[in-house]
Structure 1
Amino acid sequence: MNFASYYNNLGIEAFALASVLSKAKLLTLPQVALVLPIVAHKDMTKQLARARFRFSGFEEYLIENVEYFYNFADRYSASLTPTVNAIQFLNEIGVAELRGENFAIVSELPFNSAMGKRAERIERASANIAKLVSGNAEIFYLNARIDL
């Protein structure tokens, strides 16, 4: 049995996008596409969820945590379809909406402890993830070696 499909599912993916979007308020679609590859890396998410963890921007984070980016392009490619599905789902349930080339939060998707530890970790990391992806997406894509 492949448990990976239970670890990453539409519910957790939509919750991750909604949580990050609730902190950023508005992200471009290229920025939104960076969220799930970050959430897919357990150690990266754990670090970003720490209450005392701080960084000034993407470049600093990359330099200090280069090991988290070795397979980022592969995670990005694997998460494109789930990202589109989560965007569509959030749009359908009225939590977020497309505004031109941007994706914006419309209403909060509240966290409930019944969602589990992973959702809790994502919720705690969401402000740092928003900060990480909110910068210049072109620089992120270039430095993460994502080929489009």
Structure 2
Amino acid sequence: MSTMSDPWDVGLLTVPPLADTWHGDWVAAMPGYRGLVAALDALLMLAATGDLDAPAVGARLGTLAADGAFRLSRVLRPLRDAAGAGAALTVWRLLAAALPAVLATSPAPRGTPDVLGLAAETAGATGLRIEVPGLADVVARGGSSRLVGEARRLSALLDR
């Protein structure tokens, strides 16, 4: 159990079994494949019923990742699978809200280029332009790092 106050106590979830899956500790303690499947199932069900506040969940995920509470790689697989299963808009909205905190962290948390890549994929698939604070700052760094390259790719999609 986390020593933090309940990070998900923002009225996001109304279905008790799913609330347990999306509790703040699920990210840090996700137990392998079963946890990934449970997280994906919860995300898809909440997205389908309209009970998921993707921007609020994304903002919290971004804060937790920026604070080092979990590795971004832990959420990539379920989010990528959710996008592939028809929830690209939800995933894009979630990632757009998570990225500002992640991009403001120096050095960027491990896995940030992968998150930017998935954000670009879902933004491109949905065509929805959402401003991502801090993205232009990463692009302005220049260079050929994967982080800057993925930020540039997402920025180009959003500027279309």
Fold agreement, TM-score > 0.5: no
TM normalised by structure 2 equals 0.28
TM-score by length of 1: 0.29
